[in-house]
A and B are shown apart, each in its own frame.
Chain A
Amino acid sequence: MTDKRSDLKKIIMDTKTLPTLPGVIQKLNTLSDNDKSSVQEMAKIVSSDQVLSARILRLANSPSYGFYRVSTISNAMILLGVNVVKSLALSSSIFAIMEKDSVGLWEHSLGVGVAANLIARKLGLPECEEIATAGLLHDIGKVIIPLKCSEAEKTIQKLIYERQIFTMEAEREIIDTDHAEVGGWLSKSWFLPDKLSEPIAFHHDVAKSENHRIKTAVVHIADVLIKASGFGNSGDCFVPSIQKIAWDALKLNEQLLAELVDEVEDKLVEVKNFSLEMMSE
């Protein structure tokens, strides 16, 4: 690893320097995921932080999971699973630090969460909630990079604009890594399970995903669909290549893709409503 990259990795893995990451998150990481008593304990810990609970519930009721009505944290743990709630706690804290002008990235992330959920359901895949969460979090690296390296971020933006290149290309040139890798480091430092960290780390290079290629492929395709639709703003405006390996892993075809476009576009109206509500507060 080059110096620049390993320095950045150190900065990013140091979660203590994230300004508003609540202590609750650190506590959650000490509890194991599948232990029944831990689930109750976890619900208690999260519920004790009212702001955090409110944010988690709001995300749990976002169109990404819009198939349920979730009214309490323990309810959310049962319906969505402990891992999902844990990652919602993290992501809501991270997204809460985002500037108001990052609403474009918010909408892109919500859109990819929704699209990932729709794809997973359409294909009858297991663990749709985890896949939706991975979609929601896939570009979390893009939230962290400006927070940790604001100067580099300015140069990256300038490069994207001037040379009309993909965000990834600009990131690699300036910080010698990219938001997907950064997102992967981040999910490791939060002890997120592989089924979330792999889609985050490899959504631009599905072949690298070894244990959760299907989930990674769903998030990759969901990202492409949302970029194609032009919903939200994730940095650049270009539709990435559909990776053949993802297409094959999901056994997609033209008919399925056309149906997905219809369903995603229909659901995006609700996503828009959700983000408008968030912004009006």
Chain B
Amino acid sequence: MQKIPLMLAKAGMTIARDVFRGDSPIGIPICGKGTLLTDSLIARFDNMDVQSIYVEGHPVWEEGERSFDDILHELDGRFIKTLQEPLNAMLYDIYKSYLIKSMGGDSDRQAE
């Protein structure tokens, strides 16, 4: 499952969580999970101010297909100047576990 900006939603993706109006994230969903996205559905979400949706799998990748190793490598690069400082090292560890957790997202494809 992946949370994606509505602008990157495409017909053919499958909704993985109920969708709510953008201005009232509680209440009655406007579309249930499991629905296959169509262009008209995306346009409808847009009209209702929906900013982001959850879709099944991990269909959207930034700047092409980056492997998990690439992503970790970039994280290392960003911290290269400040990793020796305790507070920055703490933030680095938090981000690393966050990335591991979010990239493990592929497993919930089987779960659903």
Contacts and interface: CB of A to CB of B under 8 A. Distances in A.
Interaction A to B = yes
Given A269-B3, A276-B7, A238 B82 contact: yes
B81 A166 contact: yes
Contacts of A63: 51
Nearest to A247: B87
Interface in B1-32: 3-8, 23
B74 A230 contact: yes
Interface of A: 63, 66, 69, 166, 224-225, 227-230, 237-242, 244, 247, 254, 257-258, 261-262, 265-266, 269-270, 272-274, 276-277, 280
A237 B97 CA distance: 20
Contacts of B102: 265
Contacts of B52: 269-270, 273
Given A237-B77, A241-B85, A274-B51, A269 B4 contact: yes
Interface in B22-68: 23, 49, 51-52
Interface in B54-112: 74-75, 77-82, 85, 87-88, 90-92, 94-95, 97-98, 102
A55 B49 CA distance: 17
A254 B97 CA distance: 13
Contacts of B91: 224-225, 228, 239, 242, 257, 261
B87 A242 contact: yes
Given A230-B75, A258-B94, A273-B52, A239 B82 contact: yes
Most buried by A among B3, B4, B75, B91: B91
Contacts, number: 80
A265 B105 CA distance: 14
When A and B form their complex, which 5 residue pairs have the shortest distance between CB atoms, in order from nearest?
A273-B5, A276-B7, A242-B87, A270-B51, A272-B5
A225 B97 CA distance: 15
Which residue, A166, A230, A269, A280, has most C-beta atoms of chain B within 10 A?
Answer: A269
Contact of B95 (A228, A247, A254, A266): A228
A254 B86 CA distance: 11
Nearest to A68: B23
A239 B98 contact: no
A272 B62 CA distance: 11
A160 to B, nearest CB: 12
5 contacts: A66-B51, A238-B80, A239-B91, A241-B88, A242-B85
Given A238-B81, A270-B5, 9 more contacts: A66-B51, A69-B23, A228-B92, A230-B78, A239-B91, A242-B82, A265-B102, A269-B51, A276-B5
A273 B51 contact: yes
B90 A254 contact: yes
Contacts of A229: 95
Contacts of B82: 238-242
Most chain B CB inside 10 Å of its own CB: which residue of A224, A239, A247: A239
A121 B37 CA distance: 34
Contact of B8 (A66, A240, A274, A276): A276
Contacts of A270: 5, 51-52
Contacts of A265: 98, 102
A258 B82 CA distance: 18
A228 B96 CA distance: 10
Contacts of B7: 272-273, 276-277, 280
Nearest to B3: A269
Contacts of A237: 77-78
A244 B87 contact: yes
Contacts of A224: 91
Contacts of B94: 254, 257-258, 261
